[in-house]
Amino acid sequence: MMRLFALVLIVFWSCVAFAEIDCTDSGSTYCQALFAEANFKRADKELNEQYKIIMSSISSAEAKKLLVEAQRAWIIYRDKLCEFENIGGGINSINWISCKARITNQRLKDMKDSADDPLRLE
């Protein structure tokens, strides 16, 4: 039974990872949860790619160390803010993952803005 459950989860998450999710015609909680999860995963992946781009463009070891520390602090901030916004909802709720996607997209925009301003990187 556990193997079947694991197989179902693998297939489910594979579909989520590779499918475009359109919830415009469906107000179902299930569809909204899939959309929120996919949105967060996309934003997180883009953020990680942008982080690598910025890290590779910084020559100063001190600046790199500060960026690592800032990113670690930002992750704590994101998770605590979403925990606050979702009091009582649990970490698996749509609100939790939607919050993480929203805050991650904001961070991605900030990091892209930093990458576009070379004076801020040195």
Cα angle value 67/73/79 (rounded, 5°): 135
Q: What is the pLDDT of residues 62-72, one digit of tens each?
A: 999 999 999 99
Provide the 3-class DSSP secondary structure of residue 89.
Answer: coil
Enumerate residues 6+ apart whose C-beta is below 8 A from 120. Answer: 114
Residues 49, 34: Cα–Cα separation, whole Å: 23
Return the structure tokens found at 57: 């463009």
The more confident residue out of 87 and 5 is 87
Q: Are 107 and 74 in contact (CB under 8 A)?
A: yes
The more confident residue out of 2 and 115 is 115
As a whole number, the mean pLDDT across the chain is 81
The more confident residue out of 96 and 118 is 96
Residues 17, 40: Cα–Cα separation, whole Å: 11
Predicted model pTM: 0.72
Does 3 have pLDDT greater than 60? no
The residue type found at 20 is: E
Q: Are 57 and 114 in contact (CB under 8 A)?
A: no
Burial class (CB in 10 A: 0-12, 13-18, 19+), 120: exposed
Q: What is the pLDDT of residues 7-45, one digit of tens each?
A: 444 444 545 454 555 665 556 778 888 888 999 999 999
Architecture of the domain made up of 2-121? Up-down Bundle (1.20)
Return the structure tokens found at 92: 């698996």
